[in-house]
A and B are shown apart, each in its own frame.
Chain A
Amino acid sequence: MEREFETPTADSIVERISIATQAGPLAAFVIRPRRMAPSRPLVVLHGISRNARALVRHFRAEAEHSGRLIVLPHFTMAHWPHFQRPGHPARADQALVELLNRLAVRFPDCAGRVDLVGHSGGAQLAHRTAMLYPQRIARLSLVAAGWYCLPDMSMPYPYGLGESDARGAALWIRRKQACLAAYLGLEIRVYVGTRDTLRDPALRVSPALDERQGRNRHDRARSYVEAVRAAAFSQGKVADIALIELPGCGHDFEQAITEVGLARIVTETPDMTLVLAAAG
């Protein structure tokens, strides 16, 4: 594991690490607060703008505020031209899990469940990783994913778990089906801006996708939440999922952080007071 430190401040320490994984090298920023609380680590996944370094600036204060270890993987264009969807071109899920395994050597809480947050393409990776390794995640926060892998058979893979001619579809469907019950038991929070309704060039569109999931990220978030609820219900469970609309926000993660405090929202835990008290 290679390390590179930012200049220490009186507050948190930000360390940039690089690890070798079976899927390729992965860099990550690790924010260690001055007072570490006995709390779940938080992993934050950037979108296709790959703005991990910018997100560090926003989440550094949250690490200090919450006492949580915050990890921001950086899927660089050089090594990860595709990272949003585990599959043939890239296995960001493997790299992410290996990152946690490696961090657990230094930070034992990383061996337990972590909270996983992803924005846009990062939200795609986040929910797909959660479908494959649900036991490693406690709270899944998805911010404005472009589209989803629905946890049902209503759409062919990769849009759902229905049969498909897509490469390796049977393999991936079987893997996700094996983990589905645990996935549907996760605490899931889905965030989307009320103005995230543009069909910009980065948004995947197709007649089937538009019809089943919606024409924009806002509608697709709602469809996903409904699909999770229905899938859990079909298994005799009540899904712990909520849709949170971010007033006035478009698709910009940093805007949502600065204008509605999204970084604070996804970092806070219900037992924050107890956690901070324990940290002294």
Chain B
Amino acid sequence: MTISFEAQLASAKWTFSTRRVDRTMAAGMDTAFAKARPGDLILAHVSEIGQHRRVQLSSGRHSDIYPGDAVVLACGARYAPDQFEGFAEILPEGADLLAGGGCIGRMVARNERIKSATRLIPAGRLLRADGAALNLDEFSVRVSARGDRIPVIAVFGTAMNSGKTVATAQLALGLRRAGWRVAALKGTGTGAFGDFNEYQDTGAHVVADFTDAGMVSTYREPLERIRAGIDRLLAHAEDAGCEIAVLEIADGLFQRETAQLLADPAFQRRISGLVFACGDAVAAAGGVAEMRRRGVVPDALTGMLSCSPMASAEAREATGIPVLGKNDLSDPAEANAFALRAGAEWWSAA
């Protein structure tokens, strides 16, 4: 029995990174995988379960996956020191599930503590009716504002899992409690709903990430494109009437795109506040020194180190910068101080 293209798509598991895609625009597919570029949509079948035993669906829940399952993902690269490094390349004989949020590519390195990537066999690259590849870029949020007005508090960290997402979410919560219309944004990384959902749970008025700006992953993307993506997210926040944004930048300070952003004078001018998430005091001291070398100084340290009064004291002593725990960041008084320091304007007062 031949299954129609439409039926294949309808029964496939559409991953989180494809959530903005208008599925009716998929008119066919080809197997020109060599031409695949980041963001192209790929229909693939699970061939061998490895590290990822499930995918994140566009509906916001996980789905277990089984060999033979059809999945729609986006071609992309990934940089995750705790898991994989991978490139946005699709080989016809097989590809790797680089991220459960829906990133397919070729794994080039993995952390030795984790399994090999789940293997996928690509079935086709989805095409529009005009024969062009269907790409996430077409489905980015439409904006009218310029995104150059809203104050931005950036959240950087020493590494993956240093506490950036918690810091971003808790600061957004504190700002919302203080009465601000707040956007919680993720500027770089690889598409996944964990951070997105954590932001949403705070009641932030706008939640968006780089997939809303048309990228499944920002790894190996040109700085100009990443900056344009961030501007688009900020414009989206302005369109929605937000008065302030909290922007998480993924990974550690030495990660390629993070380092580029940190060193970028235009980005430095664009941010009005800076929070730095660190795992311990030594990381804090090193990170702050690196930031100072780049000409920026965090307003506060946070992250895993804030769980320990001793580590916090060490970090404070070494850097001269206050350490805030997650309860401090979600405190409306603290968040309000961030907002006023950042020059946020209380539009409701107008």
Interface positions of A (Cβ within 8 A of B): 22, 86, 93-94, 97-98, 100-101, 104, 111-113, 132-136, 138, 170-171, 174-175, 178-179, 182
Q: Cβ of B179: which chain A residues have Cβ within 8 Å of it?
A: 97, 100-101, 104, 111, 133, 136
Q: Cβ of A179: which chain B residues have Cβ within 8 Å of it?
A: 336-337, 340
Compute the total of residue contacts between A and B using a CB distance below 8 Å. 63
Contact A111 B177 (CB under 8 A): no
Cα of A257 to Cα of B331 in the assembled complex, Å: 36
Per-residue 0/1 for B315-339: is the Cβ within 8 Å of any A Cβ (1 yes, 0 no)?
A: 0000000100000100111101110
Interface of A is mostly: helix
Given A22-B177, A136-B179, A136-B346: A182 and B332 within 8 A (CB)?
A: no
8 additional A-B residue pairs with CB within 8 Å, beyond A133-B336, A171-B328: A111-B179, A112-B350, A113-B348, A132-B333, A133-B178, A136-B346, A175-B337, A178-B336
Given A101-B179, A133-B178: A178 and B341 within 8 A (CB)?
A: yes
Q: Cβ of A133: which chain B residues have Cβ within 8 Å of it?
A: 178-179, 332-333, 336
Minimum distance in angstroms from A216 CB to a CB of chain B: 30
Per-residue 0/1 for B59-95: is the Cβ within 8 Å of any A Cβ (1 yes, 0 no)?
A: 0000000000000000000000000000000000000
Interchain CB contact (< 8 A) of A135 among B177, B328, B334, B340: B340
Cα of A133 to Cα of B344 in the assembled complex, Å: 12
Interchain CB contact (< 8 A) of B349 among A98, A101, A112: A112
19 intermolecular pairs with C-beta atoms under 8 Å apart:
A93-B332, A94-B331, A94-B333, A97-B177, A97-B178, A100-B179, A101-B177, A104-B348, A112-B349, A112-B350, A132-B333, A132-B336, A133-B333, A171-B322, A171-B334, A175-B333, A178-B336, A178-B338, A179-B337
Contact B332 A178 (CB under 8 A): no
Cα of A170 to Cα of B277 in the assembled complex, Å: 20
Q: Cβ of B349: which chain A residues have Cβ within 8 Å of it?
A: 112-113, 135-136, 138
Cα of A132 to Cα of B348 in the assembled complex, Å: 17
Minimum distance in angstroms from A215 CB to a CB of chain B: 31
Most buried by A among B177, B179, B322, B328: B179
Q: Cβ of B178: which chain A residues have Cβ within 8 Å of it?
A: 97, 133
Q: Cβ of A111: which chain B residues have Cβ within 8 Å of it?
A: 179, 348
Q: Closest B residue to A97 by CB, please name it.
A: B332
Q: Closest B residue to A179 by CB, please name it.
A: B340
Contact B346 A135 (CB under 8 A): yes
Cα of A94 to Cα of B174 in the assembled complex, Å: 10
Cα of A139 to Cα of B177 in the assembled complex, Å: 22
Minimum distance in angstroms from A177 CB to a CB of chain B: 8
Contact A174 B346 (CB under 8 A): no
Given A179-B336, A182-B340: A94 and B346 within 8 A (CB)?
A: no
Q: Cβ of A112: which chain B residues have Cβ within 8 Å of it?
A: 348-350
Q: Cβ of A175: which chain B residues have Cβ within 8 Å of it?
A: 333-334, 336-337
Q: Cβ of A97: which chain B residues have Cβ within 8 Å of it?
A: 177-179, 332
Q: Closest B residue to A93 by CB, please name it.
A: B333
Minimum distance in angstroms from A131 CB to a CB of chain B: 9
Instruction: List 8 A-B pairs, minimum CB-CB distance, nearest first.
Output: A178-B337, A135-B346, A111-B348, A175-B337, A132-B333, A113-B349, A112-B348, A178-B341
Minimum distance in angstroms from A126 CB to a CB of chain B: 15
Q: Cβ of B322: which chain A residues have Cβ within 8 Å of it?
A: 170-171, 174
Minimum distance in angstroms from B179 CB to a CB of chain A: 5
User: For window 96-150 of chain B, which residues contact chain A by CB distance below 8 Å?
Assistant: none
Q: Cβ of B341: which chain A residues have Cβ within 8 Å of it?
A: 178
Cα of A93 to Cα of B337 in the assembled complex, Å: 14
Most buried by A among B178, B333, B349: B333
Minimum distance in angstroms from B18 CB to a CB of chain A: 35
Cα of A211 to Cα of B332 in the assembled complex, Å: 34
Cα of A112 to Cα of B253 in the assembled complex, Å: 39
Cα of A171 to Cα of B338 in the assembled complex, Å: 12
Minimum distance in angstroms from B285 CB to a CB of chain A: 20
